[in-house]
């Protein structure tokens, strides 16, 4: 049953983790046979139900000139594995490897046909951490000034800028952190 429809008219479903593969299989059988993408959203700071939302988007391309989409989401608790979709869509392998590498989400039943299992995809050898988690501290933000927007009173002409208390964004380390 659809949770709701978004502005593009796509159906969106939220399912329990044990229903994940069956829900995606059902959507494929209903015509959503084109695998578009899979990713995760870090919701570990959600007070009510912390974890990760894993989202898959499938498309129905069977009608010329009409493209229908569906998104299916499941919430994983910290450390809970995701059942693999590679038995349904071979193209899910790249996305599951990326989600594993960037969020640290284990994928059970993963099989891309190579026999190598989940392995690094995008990050260099020896990289430690999961860079798309909110808890990951970006070293570049700790070691040099960030080139983006400045707080009022920072940079430029401070004599003309009003000052206010600095607000530290989640995941940004204290200025004393990092190499000197």
pLDDT in tens, 139-179: 766 666 656 655 555 554 444 545 566 667 777 777 777 66
pLDDT confidence of residue 51: 95
pLDDT given for residue 166 in this prediction? 65
78 with 163, same domain: the answer is no
Tell me, yes or no, whether 51 lies in a domain: yes
Residue 63 phi, psi dihedral angles, 5° rounding: -105, 125
In the prediction, which pLDDT does 177 show? 72
Phi/psi at 84 (nearest 5 deg)? -70, 150
Q: Is the pLDDT of residue 102 over 90?
A: yes
Residue 86 and residue 141 share a domain: no
> What pLDDT was estimated at residue 153?
53
Please tell me whether residues 18 and 90 are part of one structural domain. Answer: yes
Residue 10, judged by CB atoms within 10 A of its CB (0-12, 13-18, 19+), counts as middle
Q: In what order do the strands lie in the sheet with 66-76?
A: 4-5, 11-15, 66-76, 52-63, 34-42
Question: Is 19 part of any domain?
Answer: yes
The yes-or-no verdict on residue 1 having pLDDT over 80 is: no
Considering the domain boundaries, does residue 148 fall inside one?
yes
pLDDT (0 to 100) of residue 56: 98
Say if 36 falls within a structural domain. yes
Same domain as 93, residue 29: yes
Q: What is the number of domains present in the chain? A: 2
Domain that holds residue 148: 137-180
pLDDT in tens, 2-52: 455 555 678 999 999 999 999 999 999 999 999 999 999 999 998 899 999
Q: Where are the alpha helices (DSSP H) in 50-165?
A: 92-103, 139-143
Would 128 be classed as within a structural domain?
no
CA distance 10 to 90: 23
Q: What pLDDT is attached to residue 76?
A: 97
Residue 158: the pLDDT is 46
Confidence label for 90 from pLDDT (cuts 50, 70 and 90) = very high
Residues 103, 149 within the same domain: no
CATH at residue 49: 3.30.460.80
Tens of pLDDT, residue by residue over 115-129, are 999 999 999 888 888
21 and 90 inside one domain: yes
Q: Are residues 88 and 171 in the same domain?
A: no
Residue 141: name the closest of 101, 174, 103 by CA.
174
Is residue 147, in this structure, part of any structural domain at all?
Answer: yes
Average pLDDT over residues 60-74: 93
């Amino acid at each position: 049953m659809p949770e709701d429809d978004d502005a593009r008219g796509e159906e969106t479903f939220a399912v329990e983790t044990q229903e994940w593969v069956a829900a995606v299989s059902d959507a494929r059988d209903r015509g959503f046979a084109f695998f578009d993408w899979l990713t995760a959203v870090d919701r570990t700071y959600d007070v009510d139900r912390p974890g990760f939302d894993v989202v898959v988007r499938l498309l129905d391309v069977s009608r010329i000139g009409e493209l229908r989409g569906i998104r299916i989401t499941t919430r994983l608790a910290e450390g809970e594995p995701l059942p693999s979709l590679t038995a349904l869509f071979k193209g899910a392998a790249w996305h599951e490897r990326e989600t594993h590498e960037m969020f640290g989400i284990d994928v059970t039943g993963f099989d891309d046909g190579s026999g190598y299992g989940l392995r690094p995809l995008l990050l260099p050898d020896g990289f430690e951490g999961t860079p798309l988690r909110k808890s990951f501290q970006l070293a570049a933000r700790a070691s040099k000034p960030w080139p983006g927007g400045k707080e009022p009173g920072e940079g430029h002409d401070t004599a003309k800028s009003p000052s206010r208390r600095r607000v530290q964004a989640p995941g940004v380390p204290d200025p004393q952190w990092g190499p000197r």
